[in-house]
Amino acid sequence: MNHSSSSVYNQSYAYGDGEMTSTVDDLERCTAALFAGRLLPARLLRRMFTLPPEHVRMLGSSSARYSMGLQTATVNGVTFWGKTGKQYGNDSGMFSTLDGQRRLAWSYSPVAGGPEQQRTTKRIVTALT
């Protein structure tokens, strides 16, 4: 087993929230295929890019940012769709614009979680925009 591209840490404690271990290359290939319509039928892909009605609120009373499996975020005027994941010793994400012209996949091993981890993720996404 090549430990540089996989984890020896047991992720199964988080069930579906964190059981998948992947590489940045895998995340990027998955993102490209998803946004090009090669993974799902068009009707399911449309649902993944449809947010709940405006009256659906998240904690803190902001509008919902999650659809069926994806979340949306606008950074410097550019709207991305994708998914993040955080577990002990890992932070990763995969995002794309709807047209697939800007794609981003990252994975890094933070020393500690909390605000610094969030700032690092924001710096990564800001660099793309």
The pLDDT of residue 126 is: 82
Among 1-5, 15-19, 95-99, 110-114, which is the least confidently predicted range?
1-5
Is 7 part of a structural domain of the chain? no
pLDDT of residue 55 exceeding 90? no
Is 55 part of a structural domain of the chain? yes
Is 43 part of a structural domain of the chain? yes
Distance CA 108, CA 125 (A): 13
Report the domain count for the chain. 1
Distance CA 26, CA 88 (A): 20
pTM across the whole model: 0.75
Is 6 part of a structural domain of the chain? no
Question: What residues have CB less than 8 Å from 12, skipping those under 6 apart?
Answer: 19
The pLDDT of residue 43 is: 92
Is 1 part of a structural domain of the chain? no
Position 1 confidence tier, pLDDT thresholds 50, 70, 90: very low
pLDDT of residue 6 exceeding 60? no
